[in-house]
């Protein structure tokens, strides 16, 4: 009987208890391996997702216009070539072409902000079908290549001048002038002759509320402030005939050459030349005067035009900006003097 009981226990152990123990151990081992495999798979999926997101970011960069990613299409008027350039690099070429490098740092910074603003405005209001802006100052704003700019400077000043230009662009990075959260049409000129002009008196139209007549002190010391053009009677007739072939002037009559009307900034609005009344802007263009702020006098058989200022007179005066900078004004102060009711904002805030 005792042997039978022993055989029975052995049978139970072999058939039931031992398989149960082995099965529990195998299940535990499988469970650990499965958890490990799931963890590795999760890390792999996360790595693949991160790589996919990185590639997506590369292929779809932030579309907000910033100084780093904004590329403009620049038309070179002489060749007709359109070049794609980074805004920051483009502005260095513009500032170096538009303002003397020996001007005060804050004046150059103001010029950089204004040039950037003008560029953004042109991009939003395109004039050229295949480009954002051109390099012709009579159409858009001046531009000069770095190589040509360096060649025009004294060799001893080339490196320092270019570093100064780059500094002004970099320290104003992304800043533009806005009115009601839109970039302004940021006109600028060389010398106002003491008073700026409103655009309606230059180009007509309805004008801009931020471009008003403002006083500019300290411009008299610059060579751009005053100039003279003296013409013989025949030279005057010949120049006027390019647009008015039927022009007739009685030079014996003092009333036949006479300023009839001035603008609020004391520039010539209308002038009489014999049988034609011309605008001050027309007169400036036809006779090659530096501005419409002029007086007319006679010297024997000649007619002399005494001119104040240089340029159309609208917006920021560059010599006025330099004078303000010498007196301690910052770039923002200069801009707020010449443009009324504006704010300086970052490009990506718009």
The predicted-structure confidence for 259-273, as pLDDT tens digits, reads as follows 999 999 999 999 999
pLDDT of residue 53: 36
| CB-based contact 304:297 (threshold 8 Å) | yes
- Whether the pLDDT of residue 9 is over 80: the answer is no
Question: Residue 251 pLDDT > 70, yes or no?
Answer: yes
Of 146, 140, 148, 149, residue with least CA distance to 72: 140
Q: Which one has a higher pLDDT value, 152 or 26?
A: 152
Contact yes or no for 111/168 (Cβ under 8 A): yes
pLDDT, mean of residues 114-128:
94
pLDDT at residue 174 greater than cutoff 80: yes
pLDDT at 289 over 80: yes
Report which DSSP code applies to 65. Answer: -
Give mean pLDDT, residues 135-143: 93
Q: What is the pLDDT of residue 69?
A: 73
pLDDT average, residue stretch 29-34: 32
For the cut 90, the answer to whether the pLDDT of residue 54 exceeds it is: no
Instruction: Find out whether 143 and 127 touch, Cβ atoms under 8 Å.
Output: no
pLDDT of amino acid 63: 47
pLDDT digit string, tens, across residues 184-223: 999 999 999 999 999 999 999 888 999 999 999 999 999 9
What mean pLDDT is reported for the chain?
A: 85
Q: Check residue 349 and give its pLDDT.
A: 81
Length of the chain (residues):
350
32-41 average pLDDT score? 32
Three-state DSSP class for 327?
A: coil
Q: Record the pTM.
A: 0.79
Structure tokens at 255: 């009333």
Q: Which residue's structure tokens are 């050229």?
A: 128
Does residue 56 carry a pLDDT above 70?
Answer: no
Decide if pLDDT at 48 tops 60.
no
Question: From CA 4, how far away is CA 195, in angstroms rounded?
Answer: 127
């Amino acid at each position: 009987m005792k042997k039978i009981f022993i055989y029975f226990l052995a049978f139970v152990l072999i058939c039931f208890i031992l398989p149960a123990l082995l099965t529990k151990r195998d299940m535990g081992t499988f469970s650990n391996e499965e958890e490990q495999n799931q963890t590795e798979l999760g890390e792999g999926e996360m790595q693949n997702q991160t790589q996919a997101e990185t590639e997506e970011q590369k292929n779809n960069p932030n579309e907000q216009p910033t100084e780093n990613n904004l590329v403009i299409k620049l038309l070179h008027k002489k060749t007709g070539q359109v070049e794609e350039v980074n805004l920051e690099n483009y502005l260095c070429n513009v500032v170096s072409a538009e303002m003397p490098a020996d001007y005060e740092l804050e004046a150059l910074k103001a010029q950089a902000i204004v040039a950037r603003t003008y560029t953004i405005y042109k991009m939003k209001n395109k004039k050229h079908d295949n480009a954002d802006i051109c390099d012709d100052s009579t159409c858009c704003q001046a531009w000069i290549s770095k190589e040509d700019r360096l060649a025009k400077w004294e060799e001893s000043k080339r490196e320092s001048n270019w570093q100064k230009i780059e500094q002004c662009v970099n320290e104003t990075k992304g800043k533009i002038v806005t009115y009601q959260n839109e970039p302004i049409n940021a006109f600028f000129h060389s010398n106002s002759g003491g008073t700026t002009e409103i655009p309606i008196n230059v180009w007509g139209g309805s004008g801009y509320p931020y471009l008003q007549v403002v006083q500019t002190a300290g411009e008299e010391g610059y060579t751009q402030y005053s100039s003279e053009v003296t013409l013989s009677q025949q030279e005057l007739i010949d120049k006027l005939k390019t647009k008015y072939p039927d022009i007739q002037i009685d030079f014996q009559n003092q009333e036949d050459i006479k300023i009839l009307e001035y603008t609020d900034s004391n520039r010539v609005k209308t002038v009489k030349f014999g049988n034609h009344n011309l605008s001050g802007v027309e007169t400036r263009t036809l006779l090659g005067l530096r501005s419409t702020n002029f007086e007319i006098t006679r010297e024997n058989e000649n007619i002399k035009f005494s001119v104040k200022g240089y340029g159309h007179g609208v917006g920021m005066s560059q010599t006025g900006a330099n004078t303000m900078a010498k007196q301690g004004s910052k770039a923002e102060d200069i801009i707020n003097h010449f443009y009324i009711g504006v704010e300086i904002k970052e490009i990506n805030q718009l």
